[in-house]
Amino acid sequence: MSAPRLILALVSFELVRRIKMISTWVYAVILFGAGFLMMLSTGGAFSSVTVVTSNERVMANGPVSLFGTIGIVALFGVFTVAAIFGQAAYQDFQHGTWMLVFTKNVKKTPYLLGRFLGALVFACVLFLAIGVGQLLGSIVVHFIHPEALGPTSAVAYLWPYLVQVWPMLFFVGALFFTLAAVLRRMAPVYVGAVVLVLGYLLTTTLIRDVENMTLAGLLDPFGFLAFGIVTRYWTPAEQNTLLVPLSSLFGVNRVLWSGAGIALLALAVQRFRTTVDEHRGRAIGDEERSEDATPFPATVPVSTTTGWARASFGLVRIYFREIVRSGVYWALVVSAAFFGTLIVLLTKEIFGTATLPVTYQTLEMTTAAVRLFGLIMVTFWAGELVWRERDVGAQDIFDATRAPTWVGYVAKLGALFLVALSVEGVSAVIALVSQIGRGYLAIEWSLYLAQLLVIDFSGLALAAVLAFFVHVLVDHKYIGHAVMVLYYVSKIALVAIGVEEPLVQYASSPSTPYSDMNGYGHLLGPFFWFRAYWSGFAVLLVVAGYALFVRGRERRLRARIAAGRQRLGPFSKLLAAAGALVFVVAGGTIFHFTHVVNRYETAKDKERKRADYEKKYKSMASLPQPSIVGAEVRIDIYPEDRRLVAKGSYRIANKRSEPISRVMLNMDDDVLVHDLRIGDTRATEVDERLAVHLFTLPSPLAPGDEADLVYDLELHPKGISHGGPKLAVVHNGTFVNNDILPLIGYWPHVELESDRDRKSYGLPPKERMAPRDDPNQRMHNYIRRDSDFIRFAATVSTSGDQIAVAPGYLEGAWWEGNRRVFRYVMDQPILNFFSVLSARYEVKRDEWNGIKLEIFHHPTHTQNLDRMMQGMKDALAYATEAFGPYQHRQVRILEFPRYRTFAQSFPNTIPYSEAIGFIARVRDSDPDDVDYPYYVTAHEVAHQWWAHQVVGANVRGATMTSESMSQYTALMVMQRKYGKERMRRFLKFELDAYLRGRALERKKELPLAHNENQQYVHYNKGSVAMYALADYIGEDRVNRALRKVVEKWKFRGPPYATAKDIVDALREETPPEYQYLIDDLFETITLYDNRTLEASVAKNAAGTWDVTLKVLAKKLRSDDAGRQTELDFEDWIDVGALDGAGTAIHLEKVRIKNGESEVRFTVKERPAKVGIDPLNKLIDRDSNDNVKVPSAS
């Protein structure tokens, strides 16, 4: 047979064979179903049951959505491909037909290619099922949410196949095929598949650091990361219209890995042997020997329970030893160790800067990285152990021994637990190596025990029991594995369809984050209840599995059940009864607390409440309401009971021109209201569900009149609550703010934001914020709509070993019994925005120009205190000099547990999470490290001006007046200390975060000075825009403008300042030639696309270097959906040269017109790179093509 005919014959043989197999249709249905469900999900078809909302701007059937969904399903389909390609190479060995094949006149190259192509064609066709599923899904979506769909485009469906799925199938197919062909075994193929997918998932963490992006994009064999990188800045409009271009990193990736596929196939052809595997090792001669005359032993067996227990234990050893000796085990362990270590080493939490490898964090990262391996390992070996004897054909011998069935059963389960335990061992080794490797020796061994053995191992053991039971029950290895995969998928699916009840989700448990301040706190209690509940269930599974365990040749379930009844002895029954008792008692307790004592509320319930709130009370929005003008707070914290009592009053005043007779108060959901009254009047109507209290005042509050709003409230979370434990009041590190006190009037923030969600509740679409000039909203500040600047005094008490802190100055501290009481009074009006913290603090003190500086910190968290202290001093110095005096005589930083990760600026008080600055590891020697404890401190101190002096009105752009200005201040403080060079890396992160953020925008992107509290705009774009402006017009001019704003607006309102006031001030200071910048940076969404097309250098007569550049400049204006139009311009843009380290050796601003232009300049030394905007000061989505290595001319 000629080679092509042979190939064709093999391909068609393979296809026909596959079509007849049930598994083919199972794969097809799964892929189709996954595609179908993904489309329904992205199209928002499940929004009636879940709160997972999709992006309103990105069409579910747009090219990028389709690419993403088809790609992700295909990625997980790789496991099925492993079997297909592996078997294509292996089947002739598996069935022993290879001797028949290769004794025919078959050449190995066409044979292998035929087998491979057969599998490839089959897989390529099979995977089309995903797209078909998506197409049909889009028809369903069309009836539910037509607005979620764009026009159907065949190209958009086919493109992912052409450039991603099929090339991926080619590469991974070639890999699996080669493994099976060369090694003649299937196990390496499965290990290969696991390693490949896990490796991919873990590599995705690489791209958290902007700098590693290109590398990660090339390393990813699936092309999926490269796709993500190429499209990461695409606006919704682009995502809906553009195909992923091949002329990009993505294309390079595809070429690279397709080439790797070809190389693998060549390897397969070269290394494939058509001959018998010759056994290595010594041959055994079976030589004749005379009969041995020893008599037969007459050992009489005696069976005792201890004897059997010993036998069982011996079996555990044999089973486990066999597992540990297998290649699969080591392949998984080594890859777990490899990827785990990689993750731990590469994870850089904030601004590309690592934290100290403290034990809890290292362990959390490690266990998270290894968890998937652990689940795969226990599932795999559950199947292997259940089938151990039958796989080798020794079952008859074992089953006919006199050993009771439990001996083998318990041993298998025991060996499986050892596998799980060894996974924890791997975690421990990774964690230890990474701690010691970084020179961190304050290792907390008890945490290793708690985190690995108690918390993690118990979960893995539960998974092991389930996997083992499933394999016993199903009694078919591959179906057993399929059932387990379905189980893991269903865990995710249950959440996706809104099932939250943890009592029906096997092995569920609340999370137990560890905090240095609060330890495991009260979190272990609920955790153990859940573990007890599921352990009780697991015991039932173990006993049921014992009853159903196959002994002998009988495999029918009915017969096994009958045999199982006889098998269960008194001990098994007792065990089952104990398990059932624990299960019922723990389940009952949990249910009692989550449903009876505490309110059981799902995310969907909460969403419904928000909708109902709007429907029921929107009419109250126009009603005049009193404002808060003063606060006298008494807060008693009982850390040991996790209880907090708030008794006090707000002074309220009628600042309107008409009398007020109806008052609406909103309460926090978790707060118990003991008393609530205005003057002597109590609420006439209380809506418990929505926590709304309505008052009708007997005598209306006349304009200008004041009254007291008196409250007696309590926070006392009891037992286990649904949706995770309450973390505001804890044993050590309580942090509450005044949201636990009443809010006055209709609260628009409660309203649902997504228009799609609103529609499903019959609510009209709404804007997130009012326009900048809205006269009504200008009368409110954006921090608290029911208050202006208020008087403030607080008395807080706590247990004797803790310090409690509130804003204001400490006027007195005394003991009441064994409790400490502190009195804080603020000497001037502040925003109605305060907090109370209590913990066992140590205090570090310092002073700057008569201002007292204090850091209240956890005793062991001392590493970064100097950086924070310096940050406070430098920020105070800079802001005082630039914007005007600091209004308080004191700044305090207060550490709180890592349950929340932010720092927040209250008047003269800055709560600061232990997770962000206190465990930072900033190495001064490494220019890549960003000193973020210093930077965050500076940002928060800057808020004392930007928010607490000048506060924005409740309109668009409000956060530019606070967040963007604080970002700017912190940037300048940091630049003063660390120099311009160090700022570049920081700004790169900021630019990247902005560009990614706008790609993920769900509603609409707005310009900086109109932003609707959009973090990627007010923080990230804010940094970039303000830094660029300072670069163009100079820091002095910027600060002069801002100083004027502060002088005019400090402590003013209503009406409050808006972003327009800042923009106007900046515009005034900006020279005429840069006026366009103000519009570009603040009032519009403007991006450049600058590129250096050609660059050359030549040494001139003077010994310096003449640089000639040909650049292409484009400026684009984007609308709120990301649709861009090109602008004509003639702007000032940097051109310059960089040395090898990336430092600018020449920079000058020149006027550049849109389109191509030529630029010349001269530099002293030979530059490494030259180009336009070489330091990336402008917003440009591809900052890499700005510079080029110049050619010598």
Closer CB to another protein, 297 or 1103, in the complex: 297
How far apart are the C-alpha atoms of 344 and 1174, rounded to whole Å?
A: 33
Choice from 392, 492, 1102, 1192 touching another protein (CB under 8 A): 392
The least distance separating another protein from the CB of residue 541, rounded to whole angstroms, comes to 25
* Beta partners for residue 909, in sequence order: 892, 906
- Region from 301-309, 458-466, 941-949, 1172-1180 binding another protein, contact rule CB under 8 A: 301-309
Q: Binding string to another protein for residues 276 to 295, with x set by CB under 8 A, is what? A: ---x-x--x-x-xx-xx-xx
- Region from 51-59, 353-361, 401-409, 670-678 binding another protein, contact rule CB under 8 A: 401-409
- Region from 113-121, 304-312, 955-963, 1092-1100 binding another protein, contact rule CB under 8 A: 304-312
Closer CB to another protein, 476 or 982, in the complex: 476
Choice from 93, 98, 200, 308 touching another protein (CB under 8 A): 308
The answer to whether residues 729 and 579 touch, using CB atoms and an 8 Å cutoff, is no
The least distance separating another protein from the CB of residue 283, rounded to whole angstroms, comes to 9
Closer CB to another protein, 312 or 515, in the complex: 312
How far apart are the C-alpha atoms of 247 and 230, rounded to whole Å?
A: 10
- Region from 3-11, 391-399, 487-495, 856-864 binding another protein, contact rule CB under 8 A: 391-399
Tokens of 444: 């907390």
Closer CB to another protein, 305 or 925, in the complex: 305
Q: Is the dihedral of CA 260, 262, 268, 271 positive or negative?
A: negative
Residue among 772, 784, 626, 789 nearest 709 (CA): 626
How far apart are the C-alpha atoms of 279 and 1161, rounded to whole Å?
A: 73
1103 near another protein, rule: CB under 8 A:
no
The least distance separating another protein from the CB of residue 547, rounded to whole angstroms, comes to 16
The least distance separating another protein from the CB of residue 298, rounded to whole angstroms, comes to 6
The least distance separating another protein from the CB of residue 558, rounded to whole angstroms, comes to 10
399 near another protein, rule: CB under 8 A:
yes
How far apart are the C-alpha atoms of 211 and 423, rounded to whole Å?
A: 32
Tokens of 125: 């066709």
185 near another protein, rule: CB under 8 A:
no
How far apart are the C-alpha atoms of 394 and 398, rounded to whole Å?
A: 6
Choice from 404, 659, 703, 927 touching another protein (CB under 8 A): 404
- Region from 33-41, 317-325, 361-369, 838-846 binding another protein, contact rule CB under 8 A: 317-325
H/E stretch holding 1171 reads: strand 1169-1172
570 near another protein, rule: CB under 8 A:
no
Closer CB to another protein, 95 or 556, in the complex: 556
How far apart are the C-alpha atoms of 540 and 1163, rounded to whole Å?
A: 80
- Region from 315-323, 625-633, 656-664, 1060-1068 binding another protein, contact rule CB under 8 A: 315-323
393 near another protein, rule: CB under 8 A:
yes
553 near another protein, rule: CB under 8 A:
yes
Residue among 318, 457, 495, 325 nearest 378 (CA): 457
How far apart are the C-alpha atoms of 610 and 601, rounded to whole Å?
A: 13
How far apart are the C-alpha atoms of 1147 and 51, rounded to whole Å?
A: 51
Choice from 22, 155, 276, 397 touching another protein (CB under 8 A): 397
Closer CB to another protein, 314 or 812, in the complex: 314
The answer to whether residues 823 and 805 touch, using CB atoms and an 8 Å cutoff, is no
Tell me, letter by letter, the H, E, C secondary structure of 759-793.
Answer: HHCCCCCCCCCCCCCCCCHHHCECCCCCEEEEEEE
The least distance separating another protein from the CB of residue 166, rounded to whole angstroms, comes to 40
The answer to whether residues 1077 and 1129 touch, using CB atoms and an 8 Å cutoff, is no
569 near another protein, rule: CB under 8 A:
no
Closer CB to another protein, 260 or 403, in the complex: 403
Dihedral angle of Cα 130, 136, 141, 143, to the nearest 10 degrees:
180
How far apart are the C-alpha atoms of 325 and 422, rounded to whole Å?
A: 13
398 near another protein, rule: CB under 8 A:
yes
How far apart are the C-alpha atoms of 909 and 893, rounded to whole Å?
A: 6
* Secondary structure (3-state) at 1180: strand
The least distance separating another protein from the CB of residue 334, rounded to whole angstroms, comes to 20
Choice from 72, 331, 403, 429 touching another protein (CB under 8 A): 403
Closer CB to another protein, 95 or 279, in the complex: 279
For β-strands 692-701 and 706-715, DSSP reports them as unpaired
Choice from 306, 446, 818, 925 touching another protein (CB under 8 A): 306
How far apart are the C-alpha atoms of 749 and 769, rounded to whole Å?
A: 10
The least distance separating another protein from the CB of residue 4, rounded to whole angstroms, comes to 42
DSSP string for residues in 470-498: HHHHH--HHHHHHHHHHHHHHHHHHHHTT
Choice from 7, 73, 163, 315 touching another protein (CB under 8 A): 315
Residue 393: other Cβ atoms inside 10 A: 8
The least distance separating another protein from the CB of residue 385, rounded to whole angstroms, comes to 13
Residue among 189, 168, 126 nearest 261 (CA): 168
565 near another protein, rule: CB under 8 A:
no
The least distance separating another protein from the CB of residue 290, rounded to whole angstroms, comes to 9
155 near another protein, rule: CB under 8 A:
no
The least distance separating another protein from the CB of residue 468, rounded to whole angstroms, comes to 20
Residues 324 to 363: which contact another protein by CB under 8 A?
325
Tell me, letter by letter, the H, E, C secondary structure of 865-921.
Answer: HHHHHHHHHHHHHHHHHHHCCCCCCEEEEEEECCCCCCECCECCEEEEEHHHHHCEC
Q: In angstroms, what is the C-alpha Rg of the chain? A: 34
The least distance separating another protein from the CB of residue 590, rounded to whole angstroms, comes to 41
- Region from 17-25, 307-315, 495-503, 782-790 binding another protein, contact rule CB under 8 A: 307-315
Q: Within 13 A of 970's CA, how many CA atoms are on the CB side?
A: 32
Choice from 303, 684, 1162, 1184 touching another protein (CB under 8 A): 303
Q: Binding string to another protein for residues 243 to 282, with x set by CB under 8 A, is what? A: ------------------------------------x-x-
How far apart are the C-alpha atoms of 645 and 713, rounded to whole Å?
A: 6
DSSP string for residues in 409-452: HHHHHHHHHHHHHHHHHHHHHHHHHHHHHTT-----HHHHIIII
680 near another protein, rule: CB under 8 A:
no
Amino acid letter for position 728: A
- How many residues belong to the site for another protein (CB under 8 A)? 51
The least distance separating another protein from the CB of residue 569, rounded to whole angstroms, comes to 11
- Region from 241-249, 403-411, 904-912, 927-935 binding another protein, contact rule CB under 8 A: 403-411
The least distance separating another protein from the CB of residue 282, rounded to whole angstroms, comes to 9
Residue 889: other Cβ atoms inside 10 A: 11
310 near another protein, rule: CB under 8 A:
yes
Choice from 276, 302, 1102, 1141 touching another protein (CB under 8 A): 302
Choice from 556, 764, 850, 1102 touching another protein (CB under 8 A): 556
396 near another protein, rule: CB under 8 A:
yes
How far apart are the C-alpha atoms of 186 and 188, rounded to whole Å?
A: 6
Binding site for another protein (CB under 8 A): 279, 281, 284, 286, 288-289, 291-292, 294-304, 306-308, 310-311, 314-315, 318, 322, 325, 391-394, 396-404, 407-408, 551-554, 556, 559, 563
